[in-house]
Structure 1
Amino acid sequence: MAQHPGRARRVRTTAELQEQLRVRRLQLDEANARINARSGRNLLPAIIVGLLLGAALLTSLLVEKRFFLVVAVVLVGFAAFELAGALRAGGMRVPRVGSAVAGVLAQPFAYAAMVPVAGATRPDPVAPQGWLLTLLGAVLLAGAWRLAQIPRHPAPPRALGRDLVATAFVQLYVTGLGTCASVLTAQPGGQWWTLSFVVVVVATDLFAYVSGLTFGKHPMAPRISPKKTWEGFAGSAIAAIAAATILAPLVLDEPIWFGPVFGAVVLLAGTLGDLGESMIKRDVGIKDISGWLPGHGGFLDRIDSILPAAASALLLLFLAR
């Protein structure tokens, strides 16, 4: 029985469309694979995760800055857990749960300790005692957690000492720098400083990625982070100075000359933080700190630049006021 001509044409058209879609999908997959190979990340999931984290941060800072503590608790808690796990992979028994608990508890305590008295418009230069006691408490809590594990995980004195030093390092690095963001936000108008330094960090990451992907030829620190280039750093520097120069008078209520200073300090702190975390991962022999955030690796991979940038922004706040 002969097939109707119109039906035969529809069948051919459908087959041609399917073939065209298949070819186009292959082309897109190949292009995406090339981008992923060059950038070192799965781009689409990275964008989605970045937007979600950015939305949570913006909501907390613009609606009610005390909500920022929720974001800080989640990020610091997971990051401390991840870093403890990475150090365990390097042969050091660092308590993951204890590190996370200490990091989580420190955030609201540091925030409360550094909230200025009612009516104050300037940070109190003698107030950091409560903040430092909070950090000391986090170190002691995590260390006690490790000591409590001795019956189940005994270790010779030298190994135990190394475990305790590594446990303290997690608290000083992740929890200590994380509390800088909480303390900064607690200050009068501090939410705008937190928002500003995060915007500068995001701008530097974005432009470092784009300029490095487009022009990158000269490795910046090949033994630590092979994909970072001087061309990418130049792009991030331009972005940091431009973003901070705009933010200084409009958001921070600071003179315009303060913008380039703010941008340069945050840029250098964030870059050192990124390289420092890469060095830790290289030393323990891992690529990503974890796989919890698609396209980013782990929480610490996402906030490695933000942690030291928070400390630098807090220092600038105290100097400016």
Structure 2
Amino acid sequence: MTDDSGSRGPSKQRRASAGISRAELEDRVRARREQFEEANERITARSGRNLLSAVAIGLVLGGLMFVSLLFVTELFLVFVGLIACIGTLELVGALKRSGRYVPVIPSVISAAGVSIASFYAGASGQWLTLLAGTGLVLVWRLGMLANPAHRADAKQLLRDLAAAVLVQTYVVFLASISILLVAQPDGRWWVLAFMLVVICVDTGAYAAGLNFGKHPMAPRISPKKTWEGFAGALLVALVAGVLLSIFMLHQPWWFGLIFGAVLTLTATFGDLAESLLKRDMGIKDMSTWLPGHGGFLDRLDSMLPSAAAAYVLFIVFS
């Protein structure tokens, strides 16, 4: 007879060992996941953002813009034009919740028209279409006074008209500037460069503010924003500006310092301006288009004024 107890013994030991290893592995994975979730909750509490969602949304939006800029410029027009329309809907909806009525249909028509005109007709087409679109929105609102449901006193009507101009200026005009820039010779590289610098500004401010932030910059407007975060944003933006200036824009290194410093100011201003706007309207987020992060305007607030600054720098230095 063959004694196979010896062969079965090691096999059982291996299975037991494998079972213990698997259990230990599951325990370790569970512990790491709990630690990560706790760390993410602490970061969210300090910064006001969910790190995983912010990174995921940033990668998706950035990837779409990157692909459209490098391969098919017309896709950038479609992408930014769509964002302009969505951003217009967001701001119109937020203004409505705060008691200001802006007609939706002409506002979106203007956003689409200005985006297309900026790409195919240049600055003159952009301005003419913007003026025509703004006029359409204002006349539409005045025409709605014939409907008793939309009648208002003089003060309320002026507030509505001012809100309509705000939508066209803040969202439609500023968003179309990036389209205007990308249509210029080598403009796509300038668009890509300014977006990368703004991303560096947001990342530097986030990291520095999270680790070193102690002195609030504007506590009544944005309690999470600190001077330490601003310093970190400026440092990262200057480095990124110099590198992009030399290797992407083919400008002297000192232009990169100007590029990084200006975009740090405009990105910070855009963030604070939207925070002030939301505080004035008494809302936390512009919309719920991006679950857990509000709307597109909440994620692109620093990009909008930075596009205007990048276009001015392009005109002056290129």
TM > 0.5? yes
Is 1:264–2:261 an aligned residue pair? yes
Do 1:244 and 1:262's aligned partners in 2 also have CA atoms closer than 8 Å? Answer: yes
**Contact 1:288/1:297 (CA < 8 Å) preserved in 2?**
yes
- Measured in 1, the distance between the counterparts of 2:97 and 2:295 equals 15
Q: How does 1:1-321 map to 2 (within 5 A)?
A: 21-114=29-122, 128-150=123-145, 151=147, 152-321=149-318
Q: Percent identity?
A: 48
- Pair 129,221 (structure 1): closer, same or farther in 2 beyond 3 Å: same
Structure 1 residue 299, shift from structure 2 partner: 0.5
- Count of aligned pairs between the two proteins: 305
1:46-68 per-residue CA deviation (whole Å, 9 max, x = no partner) reads 21111010110001100022221
SS in 2 for 1:41: coil
Moved over 6 A (4+): 5-17
Instruction: For residue 158 of structure 1, give the secondary structure of its aligned residue in structure 2.
Output: helix
- Residues 132 and 12 from structure 1, CA distance in 2 versus in 1: closer, same or farther, beyond 3 angstroms? closer
Q: C-alpha separation between the residues in 1 aligned to 2:142 and 2:129?
A: 20
Determine helix, strand or coil for the equivalent of 1:228. strand
Using the alignment, how far apart are the partners of 1:129 and 1:259 within structure 2?
29
Normalized against structure 1, the TM-score is what?
0.88
Q: Judge conservation of contact 2:95–2:102 (CA < 8 Å) in 1.
A: yes
Please list the CA deviations of residues 54-109 of structure 1 after superposition, one character each: whole Å capped at 9, or x if unmatched.
11000110002222101111211111111111111221112234323321221011
Q: CA deviation at 1:158?
A: 2.3
Q: Kindly provide the amino acid, as one letter, of the partner of residue 63 in structure 2.
A: A
Are 1:43 and 1:295, in contact at CA under 8 Å, matched by a contact in 2?
A: no
Q: Which has the higher helix share?
A: 2
Structure 1 letter corresponding to 2:310: A
Aligned to 2:285, the other structure's residue is in SS state: coil
2:293 maps to amino acid: H
Q: How many Å separate the matches in 1 of 2:44 and 2:196? A: 24
Q: CA deviation at 1:20?
A: 5.4
Alignment check: 8 A CA contact 2:245 2:253 kept? yes
Q: Deviation of residue 10 (structure 1)?
A: 8.8
**Shift of residue 28, structure 1, vs aligned partner:** 2.8
Q: Which amino acid aligns with 1:91?
A: G
Q: Distance in 1 between matches of 2:84 and 2:113?
A: 10
- The one-letter code matched in structure 2 to 1:275 is L
Whichever residue aligns with residue 124 of structure 2, its letter is: Q
Q: Please say which of residues 274-283 and 41-50 is displaced more in the overlay.
A: 41-50
Structure 2 CA distance for partners of 1:242 and 1:8, relative to 1, 3 Å: closer
Paired letter, 1:310: A
Q: Which runs of 5+ in 2 are unaligned?
A: 1-11
Deviation, 1:144, is: 3.1
Distance change (3 Å), C-alpha of 1:66 and 1:226: same
CA distance in 1, matches of 2:261, 2:21: 58
When normalised by structure 2's length, the TM-score is 0.89
Q: Bigger radius of gyration, 1 or 2?
A: 2
CA–CA distance in structure 2, aligned partners of residues 46 and 129 of structure 1 = 37
**In the TM superposition, what whole-angstrom CA distance separates every residue of 1:19-58 from its partner, at most 9, and x where no partner exists?**
6555444333222211111121121122111101011000
Per-residue CA distance 1:200-241 (angstroms, 9 max, x = gap): 000100111011101111101100000001111001001111
* Matches of 1:20 and 1:277, distance apart in 2: 43
Give the residue type in structure 1 aligned to 2:80: A
8 Å CA contact 2:114, 2:176 repeated in 1 = yes
Q: How big is the alpha-carbon RMSD for the aligned residues of Structure 1 and Structure 2?
A: 2.2
SS state at 1:31 partner:
helix
